[in-house]
Amino acid sequence: MLKLLRDSLANPKLVETGLGRWAHYSSRWSELDSSARWVQKEGNITRLAPLVLLLAFLTVITPASADGLTGTTVVGQLYFSVDPHNYFDPANGYVPSGFQNSAGTTVVINGNPTFGFNDSHNLDQANFTNNMLTISDKNAPGAGALNWEMIFTDSAFAKVSKVSDTFDNGGLSCSLVGDVLTITWAGDTFNGGWNFNAVFDIKTTSVPEPSSLLLLGAGLLGLMGTTLLRKRLA
C-alpha cells in the first residue's frame, strides 16, 4: 500500500489529475451548498414560488397536440323538412343494424359506422373517424329526397372544413357554433337514383398534457406553502 501511494505521488500526471478532480467536486459542492442556503431563506422561497407558477401557466396555455375524435362522445340528430322527429333516434324505427346509433343517439366514436337512417327510398349515413366526418345519401330510383338537417354535438369540435362534396342542388352547407355542428342539404326532386358523398375535416380542441398539469400543480402547491410560511413567520 505504501509503495502504491509513493508511486502515485511520484507521478506528476496522476497528482495533477487527482487535484483537478478534487477541485472540480469541491467547487460543485460549494455551488450546491450555496444554492441550498439561498433557497432556505424565507424571502427567496417567496420569490421562487410565483416563478414556478408562472412557468406552469405558460406551459399549460401553450396548445398541445390534438388527439382526435376517437373516444369522444357525440350526439346525433337528423330532421327532414318540418318534421320534428329525430330520425337518428332508434325509437322512431328507421335506424338500420350495424350503426352505433342503433343503441341511442349518444355514441362514443370508435371508427365503426356511426349514425344511420334507412327507409324504403333512402339510406343516409354520417360516419365519424379520428378526424373526419363522411356523409352519404343513397337514393333509390323513382324517389326524390326532402331537405334535411343533421346536427352533431361533441365538446371536442374546434374547426370544420369541407374536403369534398358530390351532393347536387348546391351541395352540403355546414356551420360550427361552439360544440354544435350543423349540416344541411336542400334535397332534390330528381328521381333517377343517386349516391352522394361529402367529407369534412374536423380539428379538435387541444388538451393540456399531463406533464403540464403536474407543473401547474407544483406551482400552486409552492404558492400555498409560501403563504403558510409567511403566516408562521409573521
Contacts of residue 99, defined as CB under 8 A and 6 or more positions apart, other chains included, come to 113, 114, 115, 116, 125
pLDDT tens across the length of the chain (234 residues): 444 445 544 555 544 555 455 455 455 545 545 554 544 554 555 555 555 555 555 554 444 445 799 999 999 999 999 999 999 999 999 999 999 999 999 999 999 999 999 998 899 999 999 999 999 999 888 778 889 999 999 999 999 999 999 999 999 999 999 999 999 999 988 777 889 999 999 999 865 555 555 656 666 666 666 565 555 555
In the chain, the domains with their CATH numbers are: 73-204 (2.60.220)
Closest by CA to 112, choosing from 93, 95, 125, is 125
- Alpha carbon distance 50, 42 (integer Å): 14
- Alpha carbon distance 77, 84 (integer Å): 11
Q: What is the reported pLDDT for 191?
A: 73
Q: What is the reported pLDDT for 10?
A: 55
Q: What is the reported pLDDT for 125?
A: 97
Percentages (nearest 5) of helix, strand, coil residues in the chain = 40, 30, 30
Helical axes 42-61 vs 210-233, angle rounded to 10°: 160
Q: What is the reported pLDDT for 22?
A: 41
Q: What is the reported pLDDT for 98?
A: 96
Q: What is the reported pLDDT for 143?
A: 78
Q: What is the reported pLDDT for 27?
A: 55
Q: What is the reported pLDDT for 193?
A: 82
Q: What is the reported pLDDT for 142?
A: 77
Q: What is the reported pLDDT for 109?
A: 97
